[in-house]
Amino acid sequence: MAPQTSTACRPISETLHEPLSTEIDARCDQHGGYTATRTEYPDLGIGGKSVVHVSRCPACTAEGVARREAKERDEANRKRQWRVEQLFGESGIPPRFLDRSFSTYRAAEQGQRIALAVCKGFAEKWPERRKTGSSLVLTGGPGTGKTHLATAIANHVISEHLATVVFGTVSAFLRHIKSTYGKDSQRTEQQALNDLMEPDLLIVDEIGVQVGSEHEKLLMFEVLNERYQRLLPTILISNLDVGELETFLGHRVMDRYRECGSVLSFDWHSHRGMAA
Strands of the sheet containing 20-28, edge to edge, are 20-28, 32-41, 51-54
26 lies in a domain? no
Write out pLDDT tens, residues 14-28.
555 678 899 999 999
CB of 140 closer than 8 Å to CB of 270: no
162 lies in a domain? yes
Residue 43 predicted with pLDDT over 80: no
Where a domain ends, among 67, 91, 115? 91
Stronger pLDDT, 264 or 46, i.e. the higher one: 264
Shared domain for 65 and 148, answered yes or no, is: no
24 lies in a domain? no
Nearest to 209 by CA among 239, 166, 236: 239
Confidence (pLDDT) at 46: 54
Confidence (pLDDT) at 5: 46
Shared domain for 75 and 204, answered yes or no, is: no
Shared domain for 122 and 207, answered yes or no, is: yes
3-state DSSP assignment of residue 215: helix
Write out pLDDT tens, residues 229-268.
999 999 999 998 888 888 888 888 888 888 888 999 998 8
Shared domain for 83 and 157, answered yes or no, is: no
Q: What is the mean pLDDT of residues 129-155?
A: 95
Write out pLDDT tens, residues 184-234.
889 999 999 999 999 999 999 999 876 678 888 889 889 999 999 999 999
What lies within 8 Å, CB to CB, of 9 at 6+ separation is: none
Shared domain for 141 and 258, answered yes or no, is: yes
**Structural domain boundaries, residue 116:** 92-266
3-state DSSP assignment of residue 222: helix
- What are the distances in angstroms from CA 25 to CA 12, 42, 55, 59, 231? 30, 22, 11, 15, 65
31 lies in a domain? no
3-state DSSP assignment of residue 180: helix
Shared domain for 86 and 99, answered yes or no, is: no
CB of 233 closer than 8 Å to CB of 183: no
Domain containing 252 — which CATH number?
3.40.50.300
38 lies in a domain? no
The percentage of the chain sitting over the pLDDT mark of 70, rounded to a whole number, equals: 88
SS3 of 3-32: the string is CCCCHHHCCHHHHCCCCEEEEEEEEECCCE
6 lies in a domain? no
Residue 111 predicted with pLDDT over 80: yes
138 lies in a domain? yes
Q: What is the mean pLDDT of the chain?
A: 88
CB of 95 closer than 8 Å to CB of 72: no
83 lies in a domain? yes
Stronger pLDDT, 79 or 243, i.e. the higher one: 79
Confidence (pLDDT) at 19: 80
CB of 126 closer than 8 Å to CB of 157: yes
Shared domain for 69 and 127, answered yes or no, is: no
Q: What is the mean pLDDT of residues 67-92?
A: 95
The percentage of the chain sitting over the pLDDT mark of 90, rounded to a whole number, equals: 65
